[in-house]
Amino acid sequence: MTKLRRKVYMVAGYNTISMGTGRKEFHPKKPRPDLEDYIKEAGQAVLKMIGGAKNVDETVIGNFIGALFNRQANMAAFAPMIDEGLRYKPAIRVEGACGTGALALATGIKSILAETAEVALILGVEVQNTVKAMYGADILAAAGWAKERKTGHAYFFPGKFSDRSKAYAEKFGADKTRAAMAKWYQNAIENARLCPTAQEFHNNTNDLIACGMNKPNPKGFVDSLNFFDCSKVSDGASAIAIVSEEGLKRCGISKKDAVEIIGFGQAEEDITKPPADHTKLSTTKVAVEKAMQMAGITKEQIGTVECHDCFTIAGIMATEAIGFAEHGKGPDFVIEGNTSRTGSVPFNTTGGLIGWGHPTGATGVHQAVTIWEQLTGKAGDAQIEIKPEKPYGLTINMGGDDKSLVSIVYKRAE
Amino acid sequence: MNYTEKLQNVSVLGAAGKMGSGILLLTAMEMADLSLKPENKGKHFVLNAMDVSSEALLGLMKYVKAQVLKAAEKKIVGLRDFYADREDLINNSEIINQYVEDVLFIIRPTTVLEATYESSVIFEAIKEDPALKVKIFKQINENSKTKPWFCTNTSSIPINELDSKAGLNGRVLGVHFYNPPAIQKLVEIIKTDKTEADLVEFANTFSKNLKKIVVPSADFAGFVGNGHFMRDALHGIKEAEELAKKYSFTEAVYMMNKISQEYLIRPMGIFQLIDYVGIDVCQYIMSVMNPYLKDEDLHSSLLDKMIEIGVRGGQNFDGSQKDGFLKYDKGRPVAIYDVNKKSYMNIADFQAKCDAELGKMADSVKPWKAVVGDKGKDDYLKGYYNDLKTLKAMGSELAIKYAKRSKEIGLKLVADKVANNYNDVNTVLLTGFFHAYGPINDYI
Ligand SMILES: NC(=O)c1ccc[n+]([C@@H]2O[C@H](COP(=O)([O-])OP(=O)(O)OC[C@H]3O[C@@H](n4cnc5c(N)ncnc54)[C@H](O)[C@@H]3O)[C@@H](O)[C@H]2O)c1
């Protein structure tokens, strides 16, 4: 697909709070909102903005692994719970590990392109604080190849990205890599403090760099990452509507409140194979290239990026995968401040996975909501300036260790 | 000494008690960790959990299971290596459950003393009764096939006395854990001039493997920890009795408890600490220590009176605090016992008056919690004590007197050669009593 055969828009985004440690409301032993609550909150908020359930042709629910966290499968059937108006309408649940959210978006985009829907409600949700971290690690390990679980680290995914971080540090310098990871953490928290739904919104630590510089403790955790390098365990949901030109009219939404999807790219890599090069996000690179090619834009035209920083090192590698920095120069790019909110291309302006939170199945949708907010001027305190020569937003959502990728290019509709 | 061999058959006496349960837990995990080492494949490890109370043993197993689960969750990174060759164990959850099983399967709860006759090491944590300890040691020693080592947890009885009365010939050592053993980092090791060197080496290795901080103490009743605590407590009690001449008894107790906590920046006041340990236990330890002390009478008739009335403090099995000098609501003191009226008086009714009597506190005072982990606390405390000295209020003067007495007690423990040096005394108070600073300091 070189070009979208039809105009596709996103409108009416909504994020619940990303709940987990760090939020004042969070207490591990006290009752909390559950899947149903988050689905209703996000779903109903979007329906309200688009004129109600009657306007919706189809619902897509993204959820990674409620079957294990919540003993719940068949999640599409939660759609009619959001609103009775969705009863007997089509709904589908998609899954691609932490890349689930953007796969839900891609599914919606394709429905619009296929003209099987003019308005699709897209919702991502995950509730993960139901188990302690060491058991959550077992569940999340399903995003990797199950046959590798036995030889993997107790904290399986931190283990995978610790290997990447180690390889990167060995090849390009440990001090520089660590300093960039600390800087990434600082940016993430500073951005999250501007977004009331962010998990780190209440974070008031003074010296964020000092946190980021903490020496990893291989005995208690992994070799090359500290806790601050990792996104936290989060509960939450995000939702947005994907609509056609006709859908916009049906919902009565003006173009200034919409973003247009200019291009998107999907790429899948073999889950049974280790990364060919631990210092690169090769699949990410392919997905971004496809999206940009479809959009017909260059990286210089990108005004803001939401990338998949499940770990600080993944954020740094993403700057290289997009092409902002040469291989080995991502840390310099970050340390120089290019990715901070006042830099040449602000990344993760509401905190990203590390600062805003990572309710896995919701993350891809959350990224789209953030870009929609930024490009339409709805980002509140987190609003950045979108310059006319750089009008595009880019998202990258990743499932597993650079396995299931979706990248999307957005622009404010006109 | 073959460390592993010694730990293949162990008994804990009084295993269901406060101290015994913790010692059992730690020993069981140490034995399980040994059994999981590749070189120990096929070796059997047995840990007898011996106690006279069958009911308490049931509670013990539940406690141990919950605690091992917690510990296993914490050390899952290392456990995955332990079980690397077990192909059937894939998830953390499976490995954690297996470890809990492996620890529990080592433990054999029993009410029968004969079960201990095959053990190479006996940890003893039965109640603080010299005659009972001697009787049991003697019985095991005479019937055992192994010439076992005895590690006693006594808080106050001289080890030498246990050795000679039970005829153990140097096979006994004081291995004094602090309450609760699973959490407290300190272990005092008390050898006699007869204690076998191998046994001392064993206890040192064992304590280190349990990640404890070892402080050696001379074999003198009370050792370092209670040597300080009992005298410190007696000072607090005497000061309160003095104040009670001018104020009511409950007011006096309130004031000294406040002085010893807030003014001295300690984790709890002295009366709360006495309650925590148990009024009866304190009374008893003093009575065991007292005969060995020459120029000193370590005895409090106030404690006797409380016991007589039946107010004892101490803890419930779940670790919650029983009422003693103070009455507790969710762990916080809310009232004080009046020995004359034989009832509790609400602190709120006299707190303001007492605080006014004590006078202004130093502006620089901070709660213990804020000081204990502070890296710059040495400078802070110097400044704080200087402020205290300039205040000239009743409270600050009582506090300085208290701190001086605490230091004097510490110095005497070294002068009497109970502790090897000042540092050891301070380590005991820092780690065994969670003080923010050692009593031997130059702040006062
Ligand atoms: N509690 C503390 O703070 C503390 C601290 C350090 C040392 N100690 C010492 O540890 C020892 C135990 O104290 P504790 O506080 O755990 O007491 P405890 O009363 O909680 O436990 C004693 C246990 O011994 C059992 N027991 C009694 N007679 C027995 C017998 N003949 N055979 C086998 N078991 C018997 C009891 O059933 C009970 O479970 C004492 O010597 C005490 O001085 C206590």
Q: Could you read off the pLDDT tens digit of each residue along chain A, which spans 414 residues? A: 678 999 999 999 999 999 999 999 999 889 999 999 999 999 999 999 999 999 999 999 999 999 999 999 999 999 999 999 999 999 999 999 999 999 999 999 999 999 999 999 999 999 999 999 999 999 999 999 999 999 999 999 999 999 999 999 999 999 999 999 999 999 999 999 999 999 999 999 999 999 999 999 999 999 999 999 999 999 999 999 999 999 999 999 999 999 999 999 999 999 999 999 999 999 999 999 999 999 999 999 999 999 999 999 999 999 999 999 999 999 999 999 999 999 999 999 999 999 999 999 999 999 999 999 999 999 999 999 999 999 999 999 999 999 999 999 999 999
Inter-chain residue contact B77 with A221, CB threshold 8 Å: yes
Q: Are residues A299 and A376 in the same domain?
A: yes
Q: B176: helix, coil or strand?
A: strand
Least confident of B15-24, B206-215, B312-321: B312-321
Instruction: Tell me whether B91 touches chain A (CB under 8 Å).
Output: yes
Q: Are residues B377 and B358 in the same domain?
A: yes
Q: Are residues A186 and A101 in the same domain?
A: no
Question: Tell me, what's the pLDDT at B341?
Answer: 93
Q: What is the largest CA-CA distance in chain B?
A: 74
- Domain for residue B437, yes or no? no
Q: pLDDT grade, residue B282 (50/70/90)?
A: very high
Atom of ligand 1 nearest to the CA of B19: 16
Q: Which of B57, B32, B30, B56 is nearest to B44 (CA)?
A: B32
Q: Are residues B198 and B321 in the same domain?
A: no
- Domain for residue B443, yes or no? no
Question: Tell me, what's the pLDDT at A72?
Answer: 98
Question: Residue B19 Cα, ligand 1 centroid: separation in angstroms?
Answer: 6
- Domain for residue A142, yes or no? no
Q: B294: helix, coil or strand?
A: coil
Q: Name which of A150, A153, A217 to mutate to probe chain B: the one with the most chain B Cβ atoms within 10 A of its Cβ.
A: A150
For B403, the domain range is 225-432
One-letter amino acid of A266: Q
- Domain for residue A139, yes or no? no
Question: Tell me, what's the pLDDT at B437?
Answer: 98
Q: Is the pLDDT of residue B316 over 90?
A: no
A234-266 burial code (b ≥16 CB/10 A, e <16): bbbbbbbbbbbbebbebbebeeebbbbbbbbbb
Question: Residue A235 Cα, ligand 1 centroid: separation in angstroms?
Answer: 46
**Could you tell me the strand order of the sheet in which A259-268 lies?**
A91-94, A58-62, A119-127, A235-243, A9-15, A259-268, A404-412, A392-399, A302-306
One-letter amino acid of B110: T
How far is it, in rounded angstroms, from Cα A244 to Cα A8? 5
Q: pLDDT grade, residue B317 (50/70/90)?
A: low
Q: Is the pLDDT of residue B393 over 80?
A: yes
Q: Are residues B40 and B132 in the same domain?
A: yes
Q: pLDDT grade, residue B326 (50/70/90)?
A: very high
Residues paired with A396 in a beta bridge: A407
Q: Name which of A138, A149, A153 to mutate to probe chain B: the one with the most chain B Cβ atoms within 10 A of its Cβ.
A: A138
- Domain for residue B441, yes or no? no
Tell me if A240 sits within 8 A of A372, measured CB to CB: yes
Instruction: Tell me whether B4 touches chain A (CB under 8 Å).
Output: no
How far is it, in rounded angstroms, from Cα A246 to Cα A250? 6
Atom of ligand 1 nearest to the CA of B284: 43
B17-26 burial code (b ≥16 CB/10 A, e <16): bbbbbbbbbb
Answer whether B106 contacts ligand 1 (Cβ < 6 A).
no
Q: pLDDT grade, residue B156 (50/70/90)?
A: confident
How far is it, in rounded angstroms, from Cα A174 to Cα A168? 8
- Domain for residue B391, yes or no? yes
For residue B115, give every residue at least 6 positions away whose Cβ sits within 8 Å of its Cβ, in sequence order, or none: B11, B48, B50, B108
Q: pLDDT grade, residue B261 (50/70/90)?
A: very high
How far is it, in rounded angstroms, from Cα A175 to Cα A183? 12
* CB atoms near residue A99 (< 10 Å): 32
CA-based nearest distance A155→chain B, Å? 8
The residue among B169, B191, B217 that closes a domain is B217
Mean pLDDT of B279-298: 92
Question: Residue B181 Cα, ligand 1 centroid: separation in angstroms?
Answer: 12
Which residue among B18, B154, B275, B281 is best mutated to probe the pocket of ligand 1, counting the most ligand atoms within 8 A of its Cβ? B18
Q: Are residues B55 and B112 in the same domain?
A: yes
Q: Are residues A392 and A278 in the same domain?
A: yes
Instruction: Tell me whether B69 touches chain A (CB under 8 Å).
Output: no
How far is it, in rounded angstroms, from Cα B38 to Cα B48? 24
Tell me if B389 sits within 8 A of B287, measured CB to CB: no
Q: Are residues B183 and B240 in the same domain?
A: no
Residue A74 burial (CB < 10 Å; 0-12/13-18/19+)? exposed
Answer whether B51 contacts ligand 1 (Cβ < 6 A).
yes
Q: Are residues A109 and A243 in the same domain?
A: yes
Q: Are residues A248 and A390 in the same domain?
A: no
Answer whether B154 contacts ligand 1 (Cβ < 6 A).
yes
Inter-chain residue contact A155 with B80, CB threshold 8 Å: no
Inter-chain residue contact A154 with B91, CB threshold 8 Å: no
Q: Are residues B100 and B230 in the same domain?
A: no
Q: Are residues B170 and B300 in the same domain?
A: no
- Top-confidence residue, A3 or B153: B153
Residues paired with A311 in a beta bridge: A230
Q: Are residues B7 and B59 in the same domain?
A: yes
- Domain for residue B54, yes or no? yes
From residue A243, give the alpha-carbon distance in Å to each of A12, A56, A229, A261, A296: 10, 9, 37, 10, 22
Question: Tell me, what's the pLDDT at A273?
Answer: 97
- Domain for residue A141, yes or no? no
CATH of the domain at A351: 3.40.47.10
Inter-chain residue contact A149 with B76, CB threshold 8 Å: no
Tell me if B392 sits within 8 A of B402, measured CB to CB: no
How far is it, in rounded angstroms, from Cα A230 to Cα B330? 36
Question: Tell me, what's the pLDDT at B128?
Answer: 87
For A284, the domain range is 155-232+262-412
Tell me if A142 sits within 8 A of A400, measured CB to CB: no
Q: Are residues A283 and A337 in the same domain?
A: yes
Question: Tell me, what's the pLDDT at B168?
Answer: 97
Q: How does pLDDT run across B96-122, given as a tens digit for each residue? A: 999 999 999 999 999 999 999 999 999
Question: Tell me, what's the pLDDT at B444?
Answer: 87
One-letter amino acid of A283: T
Q: How does pLDDT run across B9-59, given as a tens digit for each residue? A: 999 999 999 899 999 999 999 999 999 999 999 999 999 999 999 999 999
Q: Are residues A404 and A345 in the same domain?
A: yes
Inter-chain residue contact B80 with A153, CB threshold 8 Å: yes
Instruction: Tell me whether B90 touches chain A (CB under 8 Å).
Output: yes
Question: Tell me, what's the pLDDT at A2?
Answer: 75
